[in-house]
Amino acid sequence: MGDDHAVKGPASYFPSIERRYGKPIEHWQALVRERPDTQHMEIVTWLKAEHGLGHGHANAIVAFTLASERSRDA
């Protein structure tokens, strides 16, 4: 019997991101939202270079945040 409420996709990385970098996901999402006219991979590269995030973690934050923004705007 599986857990039907298990978090999947980019958000599944959030607990480990918070533990590893010591900041809540909302902090990282706010940084992404401050760059509204920047492409996905440019933001990933910036998070890696300026904030020391790993590629998978940066990509998960950007993907989740941008998808949330698009669904909110729809």
pLDDT, tens digit (0-9, with 9 covering 90-100), for 9-67: 889 999 999 999 999 999 999 999 999 999 999 999 999 999 999 999 999 999 999 99
Q: Which domain, by its residues, includes 23?
A: 11-73
The whole-angstrom separation of Cα 74 and Cα 72 is 6
Contact call for residues 44 and 58 (beta carbons, < 8 A):
yes
Q: How many domains does the chain have?
A: 1
Domain assignment of residue 18, yes or no: yes
| pLDDT score for 1 | 44
The whole-angstrom separation of Cα 31 and Cα 4 is 31
The whole-angstrom separation of Cα 52 and Cα 72 is 29
Domain assignment of residue 43, yes or no: yes
Domain assignment of residue 4, yes or no: no
Domain assignment of residue 69, yes or no: yes
Handedness of CA 28, 31, 37, 39 (dihedral sign): negative
Tokens 């958000």 belong to: 11
Domain assignment of residue 2, yes or no: no
